[in-house]
Each structure stands twice: as structure tokens, then as C-alpha cells.
Amino acid sequence: MEQFRNIGVIGRMNSVKVVETLRHLRTYLVNENYQVILESETATMLPGHGLQVASKKLLGEICDLVIVVGGDGSLLGAARELAKSKIPLLGVNRGRLGFLTDISPDDLEERVGRVLQGEYIEEHRFLLDAHVTRNENPVSFGTALNDVVLHPGKSTRMIGFDLYIDGHFVYSQRSDGLIVSTPTGSTAYSLSAGGPIMHPKLDAVVLVPMFPHTLSSRPIVVDGKSEIKLVIGEDNETYPQVSCDGQMDIACAPGDVIRITKKPFKIRLIHPTDHNFYATCREKLGWASNIAAS
């Protein structure tokens, strides 16, 4: 197992509970003689910390592991920033669901300690890149670990768009938009819109229509290496948006083209050895326990 000595720490801003956990984590890591580097914004929450400070980008260059304290959204943001550096990420949950941040603050020392001693499992998750062009000229670009979503923004009007997969025309649709989700995002926004739950090991992408203006429109699961192209109809009266993980918005216009492809590198997620995807689903989604055992 990989040895971790230089530990980067990122925390969600504006949370008293996150600050409490950051203090606890800092004390533990320093007492165990690890080299701790705080992300620059996170450092502002711990005045007098006495630690090295670095940007997210630099963390990816100098650390062996980055620990993210917050919710899944915090880890999503860190993943997009650090994916290229291929540095492993470990999540401490101070959010709500915690599909990605699976260490509880209540047993932080024990669980983090075991990981740092080499008792962990690692999985690789792929991300999506979204390129928006207008008249064949680049407009903007975004990256998502969970999903890329075409939506009407503040407007209540439907969006008309054409869908192509690997250059093949699939359909024209009028709806509130389309969710293009990775397996990681299949338990997030995609799930609330009626999409399937996909195991994280799958190399697949699901396309989930949002309130389509037809009863026959259903989610489609395609190969993860597919190129997905959305062409916004010229006759749209609204200017829709493309969101990446719900954290970055790209303003679009009628006639714009959105191309969505798999990013060429993956993120590395670290979990305690008892991590189990189905157990996480049972806990977070309220699935029934074993009836035979009750």
C-alpha cells in the first residue's frame, strides 16, 4: 500500500461543525508526526494553525493524500481541481448524505489512522468534460464528477434540443433539460429524476430526460467512451444553461452545441476497508435490511 506522509486538508467554508472537525484532525495528524498542508481558503478558518498553506493546485503537486472535510459537494469540488494530479482523496463527512465522504467525525482518529497505516481500499472514478461551442467557436468548458445538466436556468420554459450519440442522431426533444450522469452521479440528481443506480465500477453514462414532453422518453445508458452531443434548437425563446455538478454554470444560447466526453484521467477515492457500495445505499437511501435476519 502507498505510504502517506504529506497530508493536504480541505474544508468546506462557513461551517462551525467543519471547523471543529478540522481542529480535531489537525491535532491528530500533527501529534502523529504527519506533515500537514492546509488549503489556502481552509487555513482562514483556523487562525494560528502554524501549518504550511498551499493552493488546491499545489496540494496536488506536494501531497501524498488529500483529506476533504465537508459534504459530497466539497469532495466534488476537490475532485475537479485535483483529478489531473492523480492524488488520492479521502472524505470526512460533515454534510448530509455522504456517499463520497464516508468517514464519520465521531470515529475520525480510528478510521483515518487505519487508512494512514495502509488499511484502505482504492477505487477510480471517471469524470466528464463538457465543451460548449457557438458557430464552431469555443464558448466555455467545464468538468463534472457527478453530472452535466442542460436546464432552463431561471426560466420556466421548456428547451428544444437534438441529441446525438457517437455522431448518430437519437431524437429531438422538448423538456426541462437533460441530465448526463456518471455512475458516481447516479445516486445524486439523476436518481431524483428517475434515473437508474449504477455501480461505480461501470464504464457507462446515463442520460436522463427532465420532465420530457412525451411519455415514451426514458433514461438511456450508453458506453462511457461515447461522445454525447446536444444541439440547442434555434427556435428556443429561452437561453438555457449547462451545469457541472451543480457548482459551475455555463450560459448557452439557441444554436449552441454541447459536447460531453469522458475526461482522460480519473480521480482516486480512498475508503476504509469495510466500505461497501450496497451498504452505503442501504444506509443513505433507506433500503430495507435483511428480512431473514430480523
Same-domain check for residues 67 and 155? no
Same-domain check for residues 63 and 167? no
Same-domain check for residues 253 and 279? no
CA distance from start to end of the chain: 38
Q: Is 294 annotated as a binding residue?
A: no
Q: If you search the block for the grid coordinates 437519437, which residue do you land on?
A: 170
Q: Is 189 annotated as a binding residue?
A: yes
Same-domain check for residues 182 and 218? yes
The CATH number of the domain holding residue 88 is 3.40.50.10330
Same-domain check for residues 120 and 20? yes
Cα–Cα distance for residue pair 211/209, rounded to 1 Å: 6
Q: Which residues of the chain have pLDDT under 50?
A: 294
- Residue 191's domain comprises 128-262
Same-domain check for residues 122 and 152? no
Same-domain check for residues 250 and 137? yes
Same-domain check for residues 183 and 274? no
Residue 1 inside a domain? The answer is: no
The CATH number of the domain holding residue 228 is 2.60.200.30
CA gyration radius for the chain?
21
Residue 281 inside a domain? The answer is: yes
For 59, 106, 130, 189, 257, the CA distances from 240, given in Å and listed in that order, are 35, 43, 15, 18, 12
Same-domain check for residues 214 and 102? no
pTM of the model: 0.93
- Residue 68: the pLDDT is 97
Q: Is 256 annotated as a binding residue?
A: no
- Residue 102: the pLDDT is 86
- Residue 292: the pLDDT is 58
Catalytic residues: 72
Cα–Cα distance for residue pair 224/90, rounded to 1 Å: 25
Residue 154 inside a domain? The answer is: yes
Same-domain check for residues 140 and 210? yes
Total domains present in the chain: 2
Same-domain check for residues 111 and 205? no
Helix (H) / strand (E) element for 173: namely strand 168-175
